[in-house]
A and B are shown apart, each in its own frame.
Chain A
Amino acid sequence: MKGATLTDLKRTPLYALNEELGGKMVPFAGWEMPVQFAPGVMKEHLHTRAACGLFDVSHMGQVILRGAGAAEALEALVPVDIAGLKPGRQRYALFTNDAGGILDDLMVANYGDRLLLVVNAANAEADIAHMRRAGLEIEPLEDRALLAVQGPAAEAVLEAATGAVPARFMDVAEVETSYGDLWISRSGYTGEDGFEVSVPASQAEAFAAKLLSHEACEPIGLGARDSLRLEAGLPLHGHDIDEGTTPVEAALTFALSKARRPGGARAGGYPGAEIIAAQLEHGPERLRTGLLPEGRAPMREGVQLFASEAATESAGAITSGAFAPSLQRPVAMGYLPTELAKPGTQITAELRGKRMPLACAPMPFQPSTYKR
């Protein structure tokens, strides 16, 4: 991290605890965050899959949207059924632009009297400006931390601290505890069963310490968060999805609600709706796909993909790639022409001047264990 200045970076309410726990702090999206703790990315990753990992994700933006018409107003920005989102439920959503590209991906939870939006740290400022321009009356929250508790022991760990947890994947609940008013969703970004907990900043350290006092729970850095989400096939905004990729190209059609698709009760009415509708009907020209490199060499973001050994023109590129700790092999995702982006298609990648074989593969690479 030579030359990186940490002075202008924001710190989360768990900064002191992260340091005390031995977190190696690095700049990330304008924040000073732990990339790893003493065990390192590999062991932290495996611990999360085997027991329970605690992640400080307080850098992510939390935004409240209230009042009559809040859901309808948000629907003008996302291709998702927000009006039909029941109290106690959460849904994955996307802010689109006029070209159908993805400005950001986010979670929207209905807490009855309000919607809670959780957006990516790197895009939080732009998202807030985008919503305000659209006339949404939003309250960005500066006084709450966000903790992710992930893994097969997450339920036991969280329940020991809170006494109650939401019952199934994408349920949300507000729970009064000695750590204040907690807003808990049963979700995360690791492919594991788990939770994200919004906690008052003043209580965050005590709450995190309580979670970590459970023998199954260890602190996990952003490094393992990235390898966990990659194994789970989950896209990272700014890498696998961005303003130049549509939800259809990104293989995120599950997020396009029926009510907002052509023929739906509230079809269209969001930026880029016509382009996305046309891609749904005719299919996209390119598609995000899983990729399995042969051999052990990881293939990372930016590696160019070719239809064949002989092909000289790049057919696409890897957008995320790493060695997958749970699978003990390299995995990647990237974009290819739709006719190539089918499981089993053999292609090649150019790695350090050499052509190396890899194959398209379905995602997730690591089966998810959400409690449905």
Chain B
Amino acid sequence: MKFTEDHEWLRPEDDLIVVGITEHASTQLGDVVFVELPELETQVAKGDEVVVIESVKAASDIVAPLDGEIVAVNDALTDNPALVNEDPMGEAWFFKIKPADMAEYDAYMDEDAYQDLIS
């Protein structure tokens, strides 16, 4: 698993990357009340805003960590946004992306580097 400076986690699953937000990010956001997911088969560029998360406090975005295509979204979050607080590193994944170039994934931080970032 790798991590971004935007507090996203990336987990490889075959030739896909599963994307979620870290425990740290979910705590900072507070109670999540609304999640808007991207359309399937959307072509995205690294840095595009692809998910809207609204907590009781504020709205924030999740950006695409890689160039590629959105091939799956976690519809469970639409019905139960609180899952983002309950299990951010597990059940509450947001989308799966088919990266144009898997090498982009390798460039991200490992867990130790991410822990240093937030400590």
A residues within 8 Å of B by Cβ?
A: 36, 40-43, 45, 223, 227, 296-298, 300, 322-323, 325, 330, 352
Contact = CB atoms under 8 A, between A and B. Distances in A.
Contacts of A41: 30-31, 56-57
B78 to A, nearest CB: 8
30 contacts: A36-B30, A40-B30, A40-B56, A41-B30, A41-B31, A41-B56, A41-B57, A42-B30, A42-B31, A42-B56, A43-B31, A45-B56, A223-B30, A223-B56, A296-B33, A296-B34, A296-B81, A297-B34, A297-B36, A297-B52, A298-B34, A298-B54, A300-B59, A322-B56, A323-B33, A323-B34, A323-B56, A325-B56, A330-B33, A330-B34
Interface string B75-98: 000000100000000000000000
Given A298-B59, A300-B59, A323 B30 contact: no
Given A42-B33, A296-B34, 11 more contacts: A41-B56, A42-B31, A223-B30, A296-B81, A297-B34, A322-B56, A323-B33, A323-B56, A325-B56, A330-B33, A330-B34
A296 B57 CA distance: 15
A207 to B, nearest CB: 29
A298 B30 contact: no
A201 to B, nearest CB: 30
Q: Could you tell me the dominant secondary structure of chain A's interface residues? A: mixed
Contacts of B52: 297, 352
A28 B31 CA distance: 21
Interface in B1-40: 30-31, 33-34, 36
A51 B18 CA distance: 42
Contacts of B57: 41, 223
Q: Could you tell me the dominant secondary structure of chain B's interface residues? A: strand
Interface residues of B, number: 11
A169 B22 CA distance: 46
A41 B52 CA distance: 20
A323 B55 CA distance: 8
Contacts of B36: 297
Most A CB contacts (10 A, CB to CB) among B31, B54, B56 go to B56
Contacts of B81: 296
Nearest to A352: B52
B7 to A, nearest CB: 13
Contacts of B33: 42, 296, 298, 323, 330
B31 A40 contact: yes
Contacts of A297: 34, 36, 52, 54
B58 to A, nearest CB: 8
A171 B76 CA distance: 49
A40 B33 CA distance: 13
A300 B57 CA distance: 10
A352 B33 CA distance: 17
Contacts of A300: 59
A41 B57 CA distance: 8
Q: Which A-B residue pairs are the 10 nearest by beta carbons?
A: A42-B31, A323-B33, A41-B56, A296-B34, A298-B54, A297-B34, A40-B30, A42-B56, A323-B56, A40-B31
A106 B63 CA distance: 44
A335 to B, nearest CB: 22
Given A296-B81, A323-B34, A227 B56 contact: yes
A325 B31 CA distance: 10
Most B CB contacts (10 A, CB to CB) among A45, A300, A322 go to A322
B88 to A, nearest CB: 14
A296 to B, nearest CB: 5
Contacts of B34: 296-298, 323, 330
Contacts of B30: 36, 40-42, 223
